[in-house]
């Protein structure tokens, strides 16, 4: 186990150092990550202002709060592995990874964590700025905050595992962009990014509860905003844990068959 | 004109380069269709709850999305690939070949790469635009279409100049590191009319990363909201930005050639 | 009364201008003066200094460099002068970093000189006038201008459009290049499927489609195998001969220069060390000659005649100072049962090394 901890520490260090090298890319990436929820924030607050009541249970200031928290949670759960795998296979770097005695997912998780470490200060500053500009209605409670921490960690793990499994498609086809696009769409709609899930029409909400995406972003956001009852929080955490288990098994299996195929086809 | 002649030459090269991969067509079509689907689904979601967004009706927003895809297609077709190749050429020195050719180097680097699949986006954009226009019906007359065309051309010139300025920084920055990506990130904001954004963001989207002139202004023309003043302003901005981009480019080339300033 | 000496040679079966002077107007060639050999390339006291910012590794140095940039001036080309006549093939020889590529870039207009004068075909290269660029071409060994994913033939078409080559000329030039370089089977393949040598041949062909009168080649054979190097050298010689193109070729391969250029310019640390005949170069910079003596077996005491470089199967290679050559040869012939004896110049690589070493001193 200490070997693993050591690996994570090293990866974190190199990951952070690398990221600081590419400062311009980093800044541009972060600007993009702030802009996307910001756009939806503006759109939905505009919609809300033009109606007299609430939209899906959200008032104008609720929308602002939702998207500011979403921005942070999204940043903390986001991964980009799908885009990497295609490159790795083409360049043949996977062969090197396969020689390592440790499952390659650990290096990816560590690299991902280093990106979060570097971006967190920036995002918090952005969140503070947006709070000043948009006057969101926050509804914090210590209980919610306490439940938020495990929810966020589980959300990150579930999202990462799902992403990693989808990324393995790169071993099976070269048309990964279509798969990534579909995956991106699903995330956009069903994790609560394009709109809070209660704004979606009823059938889509049901789908959202079945798919894992709600549990990767939407659930922690709603939790922190104080929009969930204790029972709902409990159920949610349980579902997240279930998805974690399912995700782990899925990754194990998918990885095994993918490696077999990779070695068969030729590295 | 020389520009069209060279564009045609490189377009043919672009087609030939991709002709070896016909399966790509379907894949790209699926990609673009999915993107369009997402955009339209988002619109549908919004208009399930309201009838106007910042004063814009659903038909006008459909037209806006049409412009978004159309211009996005043009950018992805020739502007973006060219500028990306420019930053690479500066880095690995193959720009020398271009500078040794007896044609204006700025012209060459602007047309030298054509990503032919983006024609799909252009096509989809036109289709959506057509649908939006059909729904807008009699509200769109000759004047509106003319204003639209004028605004679109001005927008394209502004976007091109902006990209060129971004790419020209490659002459000084050792690693341009995808500075070009900033446009793509911000372009997303153009899916919605710029008027809904708070003042400071509107300013940024108009003058810092000129998305407003690219998309909202032409769409305004179709919706009949474009004033002559704004259209004139767009053209003035286009002329100034183009001249500035050309000047900056020439300074960049002189720097690259080690000319003492 | 007298004919104008600067007028071009005319068919002078003309009516004599004055009576009684007819015999003086016999046709006489006087084109020694007629065709003025204006040098195609003129370089005078050319200098190029690069300004380089220096920085130590480490975080502290990185931070301090934000405030205070340490600059140093690196003279890449330090005052060189030479001229090329039309049709000459000149080899520009020097180790890495000597200033060869920098000079070439200044000649093709890609780089502005820091000081000095450059004239190519009467143009100032750095002004990059269209008429100038149409007449030159640049081939760089390590870099490609062929479009990667399409057959070379399609890139040729591209160049045709850019240089506005008339269709008939293009056909003729292309046919000739295809024949000379044996490009037939290569043209249809995407460039990325070609081997390095095949790619180089196509690169060279692409650069010559517009029939430039001045050809700049920067390390054209680098990375190629021996056979391909030879083929390309042969081609360049043939091409220059046929079309009278002026060729300036940089290389750090002696073989390139040996095979192609009668005249060689040696550059090191940005300065000209030598400009002239290759043979003269060898003459001037060798202090030694090599004597190869074939005996029945390796005699024990060859060392008394000169420095023994090697001895194998009775074949000894000796190095003797140039002045001693005749005397030592005589002694060997007198003292030993010589089967065969030859006197050679040292390999040219050695000569060049010595030139560089001398220049560095």
What is the DSSP pairing of strand C263-268 with strand C307-312? Answer: unpaired
Q: How far is B180 from chain A (nearest CA, A)?
A: 9
| Nearest-CB residue to A46 (from B38, B179, B196) | B196
Give pLDDT tens digits for B206-242.
999 999 999 999 999 988 888 899 999 999 999 999 9
- Residues of chain C with Cβ-Cβ distance to B4 below 8 Å are none
Q: At what angle do helices A81-91 and A104-134 cross, to 10 degrees?
A: 140
| Nearest-CB residue to B53 (from A47, A188, A201) | A47
Taking an 8 Å cut-off on Cβ atoms, the answer to whether B10 and C110 are in contact is: no
Nearest CA-CA partner of C328 in C339, C343, C315, C314: C343
Spell out the domain ranges in chain C.
1-36, 41-282, 288-344
Taking the C-alpha atoms of residue B254 and residue B105, their distance in angstroms, rounded to an integer, is: 12
Instruction: Write down the residue that tokens 């990767």 correspond to.
Output: A216
Task: State the Rg of chain B over Cα.
Answer: 19
Is there a contact between B77 and B115 (Cβ–Cβ < 8 Å)? Answer: yes
Is there a contact between B232 and B213 (Cβ–Cβ < 8 Å)? Answer: no
Which tokens sit at A28? 């541009």
Q: Which helix (H) or strand (E) holds A259?
A: helix A230-265
pLDDT at C317: 85
pLDDT at C6: 35
Taking the C-alpha atoms of residue C245 and residue C211, their distance in angstroms, rounded to an integer, is: 9
Taking an 8 Å cut-off on Cβ atoms, the answer to whether A177 and B31 are in contact is: yes
Q: What is the mean pLDDT of residues C244-263?
A: 83
Burial of residue B22 (CB within 10 Å: 0-12, 13-18, 19+) is exposed
Burial C301-319 (b: 16+ CB within 10 A, else e): ebeebbeeeebeeeebbbe
The chain B residue lying nearest A39, using CA atoms, is B189
| Nearest-CB residue to C150 (from B6, B13, B102) | B13
Give pLDDT tens digits for B132-165.
888 887 777 888 889 999 999 999 999 999 999 9
Q: How far is A49 from chain B (nearest CA, A)?
A: 9
Distance of CA A250 to the CA centre of its chain: 18
Taking the C-alpha atoms of residue A96 and residue A156, their distance in angstroms, rounded to an integer, is: 27
Taking an 8 Å cut-off on Cβ atoms, the answer to whether B30 and A181 are in contact is: yes
Give pLDDT tens digits for C293-330.
888 877 667 788 888 888 888 888 888 888 888 888 89
pLDDT at A45: 92
Q: What is the pTM of this model?
A: 0.81
In total, the C-beta contacts within 8 angstroms joining chain B to chain C are 74
- Residues of chain A with Cβ-Cβ distance to B22 below 8 Å are none
Answer yes or no: is pLDDT of C348 > 70. no
Taking an 8 Å cut-off on Cβ atoms, the answer to whether A50 and B50 are in contact is: yes
Instruction: Give the Å distances, CA to CA, from C339 to A106, C224, C313.
Output: 75, 39, 12
With a CB cutoff of 8 Å and minimum separation 6, the contacts of A103 are: A255
Taking the C-alpha atoms of residue C38 and residue B115, their distance in angstroms, rounded to an integer, is: 47
Q: Is A46 on the interface with B (CB under 8 A)?
A: yes
Handedness of CA C5, C7, C13, C15 (dihedral sign): negative
Q: What is the mean pLDDT of residues B192-200?
A: 92
Do A and C make contact, counting contact as 3+ CB pairs within 8 angstroms? no
Taking an 8 Å cut-off on Cβ atoms, the answer to whether C110 and B100 are in contact is: yes
Taking the C-alpha atoms of residue C3 and residue C11, their distance in angstroms, rounded to an integer, is: 13
Which tokens sit at A181? 């696009």
Which tokens sit at B119? 């024609």
Answer yes or no: is pLDDT of C65 > 80. no
- C268 DSSP β-pair partners: C271
Taking the C-alpha atoms of residue B165 and residue B161, their distance in angstroms, rounded to an integer, is: 6
Taking an 8 Å cut-off on Cβ atoms, the answer to whether B20 and C162 are in contact is: no
- Residues of chain C with Cβ-Cβ distance to B6 below 8 Å are 161-162
Taking an 8 Å cut-off on Cβ atoms, the answer to whether B16 and C134 are in contact is: no
Q: How far is B13 from chain C (nearest CA, A)?
A: 7
In total, the C-beta contacts within 8 angstroms joining chain A to chain B are 90
Beta strands in C29-166 (DSSP E): 41-54, 70-84, 89-93, 115-120, 136-140
With a CB cutoff of 8 Å and minimum separation 6, the contacts of C85 are: C37, C39, C40, C246
Is there a contact between A152 and A113 (Cβ–Cβ < 8 Å)? Answer: no
Assign a CATH topology to domain C41-282: Rossmann fold (3.40.50)
C 87-126: CB under 8 A from B: 105, 108-112, 114, 126
pLDDT at B66: 94
Give pLDDT tens digits for B55-97.
899 999 999 999 999 999 999 999 999 999 999 899 888 899 9
Give pLDDT tens digits for C77-107.
888 999 999 989 999 888 777 888 899 999 9
What is the predicted ipTM? 0.89
């Amino acid at each position: 186990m200490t070997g693993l901890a050591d690996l994570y520490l090293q990866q974190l260090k190199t990951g952070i150092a690398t990221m600081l090298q590419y400062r311009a890319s980093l800044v541009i990436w972060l600007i993009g990550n702030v802009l996307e929820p910001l756009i939806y924030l503006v759109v939905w607050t505009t919609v809300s202002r033009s109606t007299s009541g609430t939209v899906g249970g959200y008032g104008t200031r609720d929308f602002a709060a939702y998207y500011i928290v979403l921005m942070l949670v999204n940043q903390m759960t986001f991964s980009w592995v799908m885009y990497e795998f295609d490159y790795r296979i083409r360049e043949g770097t996977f062969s090197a990874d396969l020689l390592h005695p440790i499952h390659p997912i650990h290096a990816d998780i560590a690299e991902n964590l280093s990106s979060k470490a570097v971006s967190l200060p920036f995002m918090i500053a952005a969140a503070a700025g947006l709070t000043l500009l948009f006057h969101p209605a926050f509804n914090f409670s210590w209980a919610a905050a306490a439940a938020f921490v495990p929810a966020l960690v589980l959300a990150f793990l579930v999202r990462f595992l799902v992403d990693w499994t989808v990324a393995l498609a790169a071993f099976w086809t070269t048309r990964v962009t279509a798969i990534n696009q579909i995956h991106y769409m699903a995330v956009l709609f069903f994790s609560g990014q394009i709109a809070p899930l209660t704004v979606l029409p009823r059938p889509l909400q049901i789908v959202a509860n079945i798919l894992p995406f709600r549990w990767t972003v939407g659930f922690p956001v709603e939790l922190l905003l104080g929009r969930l009852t204790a029972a709902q929080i409990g159920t949610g955490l349980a579902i997240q844990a279930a998805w974690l288990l399912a995700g782990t098994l899925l990754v194990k299996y998918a990885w095994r068959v993918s490696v077999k195929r990779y070695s068969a086809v030729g590295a | 004109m020389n520009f069209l002649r060279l564009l045609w030459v490189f377009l043919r090269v672009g087609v030939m380069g991709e002709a070896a991969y016909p399966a790509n067509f379907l894949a790209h079509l699926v990609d673009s269709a999915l993107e369009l689907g997402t955009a339209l689904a988002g619109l549908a979601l919004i208009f399930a709850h309201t009838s106007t967004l910042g004063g814009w009706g659903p038909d006008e927003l459909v037209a806006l999305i049409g412009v978004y895809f159309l211009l996005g297609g043009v950018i992805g077709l020739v502007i973006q690939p060219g500028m990306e190749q420019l930053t690479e050429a500066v880095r690995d020195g193959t720009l020398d070949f271009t500078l040794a050719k007896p044609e204006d180097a700025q012209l060459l680097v602007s047309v030298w790469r054509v990503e032919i699949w983006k024609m799909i986006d252009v096509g989809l954009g036109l289709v959506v635009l057509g649908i939006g226009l059909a729904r807008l019906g009699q509200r769109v007359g000759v004047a509106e279409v003319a204003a639209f065309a004028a605004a679109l051309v001005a927008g394209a010139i502004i976007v091109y100049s902006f990209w060129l300025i971004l790419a020209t920084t490659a002459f000084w920055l050792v690693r341009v590191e995808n500075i070009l990506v900033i446009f793509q990130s911000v372009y997303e904001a153009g899916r919605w009319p710029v008027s809904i954004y708070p003042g400071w963001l509107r300013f940024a989207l108009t003058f810092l990363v000129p998305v407003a002139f690219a998309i909202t202004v032409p769409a305004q023309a179709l919706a009949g909201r474009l004033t002559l003043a704004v259209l004139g302003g767009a053209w003035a901005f286009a002329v100034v930005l183009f001249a500035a981009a050309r000047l900056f480019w020439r300074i960049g080339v002189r720097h690259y050639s080690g000319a003492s300033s | 009364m007298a004919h104008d000496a600067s007028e071009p040679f005319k068919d002078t079966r003309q009516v004599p201008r004055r009576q009684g002077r007819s015999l003086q107007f016999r046709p006489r060639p006087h084109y020694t003066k007629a065709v003025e050999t204006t040098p195609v390339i003129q370089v005078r006291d050319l200098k190029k200094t690069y300004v380089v910012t220096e920085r130590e590794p480490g975080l502290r140095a990185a931070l301090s460099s934000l405030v205070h940039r340490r600059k140093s001036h690196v003279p890449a080309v330090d005052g060189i002068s030479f001229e090329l006549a039309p049709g000459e093939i000149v080899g520009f020889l020097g180790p890495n970093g000597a200033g060869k590529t920098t000079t070439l870039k200044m000649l093709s207009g890609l780089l502005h000189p820091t000081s000095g004068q450059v004239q190519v075909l009467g143009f100032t290269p750095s002004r990059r006038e269209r008429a100038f660029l149409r007449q030159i071409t640049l081939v760089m060994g390590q870099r490609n201008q062929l479009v990667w994913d399409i057959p070379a033939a399609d890139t040729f078409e591209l160049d045709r459009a850019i240089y506005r080559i008339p269709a008939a000329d293009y056909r003729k030039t292309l046919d000739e290049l295809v024949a000379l370089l044996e490009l037939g089977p290569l043209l249809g393949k995407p460039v990325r499927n070609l081997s390095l040598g095949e790619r180089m041949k196509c690169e060279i062909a692409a650069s010559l489609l517009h029939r430039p009168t001045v050809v700049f080649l920067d390390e054209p054979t680098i990375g190629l195998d021996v056979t391909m190097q030879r083929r390309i050298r042969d081609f360049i010689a043939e091409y220059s001969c046929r079309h009278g193109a002026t060729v300036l070729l940089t290389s750090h391969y002696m073989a390139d220069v040996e095979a192609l250029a009668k005249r060689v310019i040696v550059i090191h640390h940005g300065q000209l060390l030598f400009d002239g005949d290759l043979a003269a170069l060898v003459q001037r910079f060798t202090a030694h000659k090599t004597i190869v003596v074939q005996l029945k077996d390796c005699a024990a005491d060859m060392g008394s005649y000169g420095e023994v470089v090697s001895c194998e199967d009775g074949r000894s290679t000796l190095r003797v100072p140039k002045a001693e050559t005749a005397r030592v040869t005589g002694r060997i012939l007198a003292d030993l049962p010589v089967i065969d004896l030859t006197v050679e110049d040292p390999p040219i690589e050695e000569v060049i090394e010595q030139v560089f070493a001398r220049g560095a001193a």
